[in-house]
Structure 1
């Protein structure tokens, strides 16, 4: 997803321009720190105290020049209008947040208002068009049959998590003046794989992480594979 985001930033903004970035639901600050290291001015908005503490701890280990480019604000993504003026940011990120919001449209509308003209909105959402994939890949045929008629993942580990359909979000973004520019699939083949450091030490998992990422990157931009990804990365542009 980071590669996808970089592709959109490089293709949209002049090389060397320091962008104003808002990361809504910044979590532990992974993307915020990565973009600050690239020279951008980043504001992270997060409401979870544990996540804020982790992000600040990670930030403390960075050089002073990078620390000065990151500001952490405690707050809810639905209250962007309280914290910031409209049009204040060139790039707005909202990754892994909409799936926990019962009514996503007001949140997305607030995000779009934060964008300057030609600004980039990056959303990472659960794919509502593919909830049967995980059950089917596990051989849970009854669960897969049920999942065809819902956008809610059937996996117990995702209790309370909702999903969004591409067509619905495309219509929402168009109505907010930040129409969908492009989209990618994320976790096409690896949704049932183990995570992180365990990959290289687990029987049956590839030792070549670079090859795994190359396959995922290719699948994430190629039909029909991207349409059945566990997650969707949508990029809208403010008109």
Structure 2
């Protein structure tokens, strides 16, 4: 019997009990390695970075928080899963040797951050979070309320259009045609419950006076390969291919994840 999981009252999926699965399946596997490599490549291009404070919302196992802390940003990492937050705190201290003063930790869901970490923040990261929420649209409003005027929101979402294309490639034609793409969030499988489209991000951003400054696709090609790379040379070639086309139309639109920089209007409060 596989364990089952319950969504929160808000319809969100948390990941208590899944630290090992996340670590093994996402970050010790080629897809996770490529995702982190692409973020390492894209974030310095897409963000104005000057060691400003960062709020990392739904920081998971702490990789993105560590990336900013290693670049001398004071980081506050928030995470609703206590298991994930405990792992991240230990990993930051033991494996990454980050000084205690570089990191702060908040055990809270996104919806509670107006009380727990109100800011306003010059830079917020929210990567691979919206697709696990029952109401991703309202999450944009919550994030905007935490952002300083002129502040940057680095948002990464699971791409619904890529999920449809992937299902078609795998032969799940009826599923793709009927657009039954959402996961249920009840088991260990990590199919998001609320995959998001580019049009939705643009619309929700405009509702909150957020301008899309830049967008890129993460894992544009990798998930559709018939044969995954088997050598370091092939992996290097794939990474070069991903870097070359991640911001070129139409290729970025089929990235498994879409990465955005959204800027809050200077006149917004």
| TM bucket normalised to smaller | 0.7 to 0.9
Higher relative contact order (CA 8 A, sep 6+): 2
Picking from 41, 53, 67, the partner of 1:34 is: 67
Residue in 1 that maps onto 2:44: 6
DSSP-derived class of the 2:210 partner: coil
Residue in 2 that maps onto 1:126: 158
Picking from 137, 143, 160, the partner of 1:111 is: 143
Structure 1 residues 188 and 135 mapped into 2: Cα distance closer, same or farther (>3 Å)?
A: same
Residue in 2 that maps onto 1:172: 204
Picking from 247, 251, 255, the partner of 1:221 is: 247
Counterparts of 1:66-215 in structure 2, within 5 Å, are 66-87=99-120, 89-147=121-179, 152=182, 157-159=189-191, 161-191=193-223, 205-208=230-233, 209-215=235-241
CA distance in structure 1 between the partners assigned to 2:229 and 2:71 by the alignment: 36
The structural deviation recorded for 1:39 is 0.5
Structure 1 residues 203 and 30 mapped into 2: Cα distance closer, same or farther (>3 Å)?
A: closer
8 Å contact from structure 1 (residues 151, 165) kept in 2? no
The structural deviation recorded for 1:31 is 0.8
TM-score by length of 2: 0.74
- Deviating more after overlay: 45-54 vs 133-142: 133-142
CA distance in structure 2 between the partners assigned to 1:166 and 1:224 by the alignment: 12
Deviations 1:113-141 (A, max 9, x none): 21122211011111123332112222333
Structure 1 residues 180 and 212 mapped into 2: Cα distance closer, same or farther (>3 Å)?
A: same
8 Å contact from structure 1 (residues 25, 97) kept in 2? yes
Residue in 1 that maps onto 2:78: 45
DSSP-derived class of the 2:72 partner: coil
Listed as ranges, the gaps of 5+ residues in structure 2 are: 1-38
CA distance in structure 1 between the partners assigned to 2:192 and 2:181 by the alignment: 12
Deviations 1:2-54 (A, max 9, x none): 32122122xx34xxx32110000011110101110100010000111111111
Superposed CA RMSD in Å reads 2.5
CA distance in structure 1 between the partners assigned to 2:142 and 2:178 by the alignment: 34
TM-score by length of 1: 0.83
Q: How many residue pairs end up in the alignment? A: 222
Structure 1 residues 222 and 106 mapped into 2: Cα distance closer, same or farther (>3 Å)?
A: same
DSSP-derived class of the 1:183 partner: strand
DSSP-derived class of the 1:188 partner: coil
CA distance in structure 2 between the partners assigned to 1:28 and 1:181 by the alignment: 28
